[in-house]
Every structure is written in C-alpha cells, then in structure tokens.
Amino acid sequence: MNRLLLNCDIGESFGSWTMGLDAEVMPFIDCANIACGFHAGDPSIMRKTVSLALSHGVRIGAHPAYQDLAGFGRRSMAYGAQELQDLLHYQIGALDGICRAQGGRVSYVKPHGAMYNDMMANPTQLRAVIQAVAAYDRQLPLMLMATRDNSAAQALGDEYGLTLWFEAFADRAYDSAGRLVSRQTPGAVHHEPEVIIGQALTIARGDALTASDGSALHLKANTLCVHGDNASSVAAVQRIREALDRQSAP
C-alpha cells in the first residue's frame, strides 16, 4: 500500500461568491492546492485559505492557472513559453508572499485546469512549466498527472533537477492512456461517494482501474486528488482519509 498524500483544489471562492467547502475539507487532507487569483481566489480569499491550511498543518501548494476568471481557467489559451513562465512566477510569488506574512511557505506547485491539461498534452509546454518552477525554487515539487507511462515527464523533471509528484484522481474517469475523460463526456466525473472511495483505494493499492474503453489501467501515483467543487467528493473525503490511513497502517 502506497502512502498517498491526499490533496484538494481549494480557495476557489472570489469576492462574495463562494466555491467549495474549504473548512469542511481541510482537516482531512495533506495538501491544499490554493488558487492564486487568475482562475479563482483573490488576495483576501488567499489569506483566509492560507490561514486555514496553516491552522491544520496542511502543506500549501500554489495552484496557478491561465488568466481566465470567467472560464474558471478551464479554457485553453495561447501563451508563449516565456509568457507562461511569467504567469507562473506572478502567481506563485503572490501566494508565497501571503504565506510568508503568516509564517508559512508555498511547498509545491500544481497547475490548474486547462494549463494542467495542456502541459500534459504538449511536451514543449510541460518543459516551460518545469523550467518556471525550477527557476523560482528548485526545491518545490511539481504536481502533474499520473498516466499509463510517466517516463517522459520524469525524464524532463530529472533534466532540471525538479521533483515530480504524480497525481491520480478519485472522482474522475480515465481513458486508456491514463488521461482524464473530458468533462463534456457523460460519466467523466464520479458523483457516488462509494465509487469515489473505491477508486481511491484501488489507486492506493496499485490495483488496476477500468478505463473508459474497458481496458485495465495501472497508475503509479504519489498523491490523490479530490475536488473541492464536487459535493460528493467533499462528502467522501473523511471516509477516504480514514480508509487510506487504515490501509497504510503497519
């Protein structure tokens, strides 16, 4: 049984608009992927979410995105490599400053939404993201998607001396290559708590998932994500935490 870090996308409210159930989720996760203001979040939301994470001893990760509040960062946008690196440095630095003011630090980076999906599909973009994180602080791990074959991404991380944390999802369906099924496809997001918990434990045991085409899919992951904007995932997160702890106990 692998000791998976449980992470959650969090701090995704904006102004008076509320997204997710951050206070309910935070006690049960290891890592909080905090929005940095480009797809969600604002300075006050970031401060409050950092404070909540620190009070629970949760690791704080920067969750940068394309500059797309209206689309929640889920729309692909055309950026050159340098522009992309500038976006990442701006957002990581903003969250890191808010952390430092409260006695904390950003401890890893996980891109959000379309930026995350695009870097997994485009090796040139993945290189730009890895370069950006390494230039900011080579000690920060980069979280990216575990697929059927992680070797190409691992080679890029090794080239820049950057630690990679491969991530799997408890509440999403996978295709045969180990990519997430598009949210536009029926069944792409799991909403039944028992299904979400079952998938979490299957990944933690290293057993095969069933891909969308019916094939067996093994994912080698370091961390497991539940989405803070999926009410069923929030409802399941305590049971996932308890189940993972039981499975990994000696």
Query: Over the stretch 10-44, which tens digit does the pLDDT of each residue have?
Result: 999 999 999 888 998 999 999 999 999 999 999 99
Q: In terms of residue numbers, what domain contains 48?
A: 5-169+219-227
Sequence-separated (6 or more) residues with CB below 8 Å from residue 186: none
CB 164 within 8 A of CB 155: no
Report helix angle 231-248 to 193-205, nearest 10.
40
Q: How many domains does the chain have?
A: 1
* Per-residue pLDDT at 52 exceeds 80: yes
- Is residue 193 assigned to a domain? no
Cβ atoms within 10 Å, residue 225: 26
Instruction: Considering only residues 131 and 19, tell me which one the structure prediction assigns the higher pLDDT.
Output: 131
3-class state of residue 208 by DSSP? coil
Measured between alpha carbons, how far is 33 from 228 in angstroms, rounded to an integer?
A: 10
Instruction: Considering only residues 247 and 56, tell me which one the structure prediction assigns the higher pLDDT.
Output: 56
Contacts 24+ apart (CB under 8 A), 68-71: 68/38, 68/39, 68/114, 69/14, 69/38, 69/39, 69/40, 71/39
Calculate the average pLDDT of the chain: 93
- Is residue 124 assigned to a domain? yes
- Per-residue pLDDT reduced to its tens digit, 72-86: 999 999 999 999 999
- Is residue 75 assigned to a domain? yes
* Per-residue pLDDT at 229 exceeds 90: no
**Radius of gyration in angstroms for the set of CA atoms belonging to the chain, rounded to a whole number:** 17
* Per-residue pLDDT at 250 exceeds 80: no
- Is residue 233 assigned to a domain? no
Q: Which helix (H) or strand (E) holds 7?
A: strand 5-10
Cβ atoms within 10 Å, residue 82: 11
So what's the pLDDT on residue 2? 54
Q: What percent of the chain has pLDDT over 70?
A: 95
- Per-residue pLDDT reduced to its tens digit, 173-215: 999 999 999 888 999 988 888 888 899 999 988 899 999 999 9
The domain that contains 24 carries what CATH number? 3.20.20.370
Least confident range from 1-5, 36-40, 97-101, 140-144: namely 1-5
- Is residue 147 assigned to a domain? yes
- Is residue 214 assigned to a domain? no
So what's the pLDDT on residue 233? 67
So what's the pLDDT on residue 67? 97
- Is residue 211 assigned to a domain? no
Distance of CA 154 to the CA centre of its chain: 17
Strands 223-227 and 5-10: parallel
CA-CA-CA-CA torsion sign (233, 234, 236, 238): positive
- Is residue 175 assigned to a domain? no
So what's the pLDDT on residue 193? 84
So what's the pLDDT on residue 1? 42
% helix, strand, coil for the chain, step of 5: 40, 15, 40
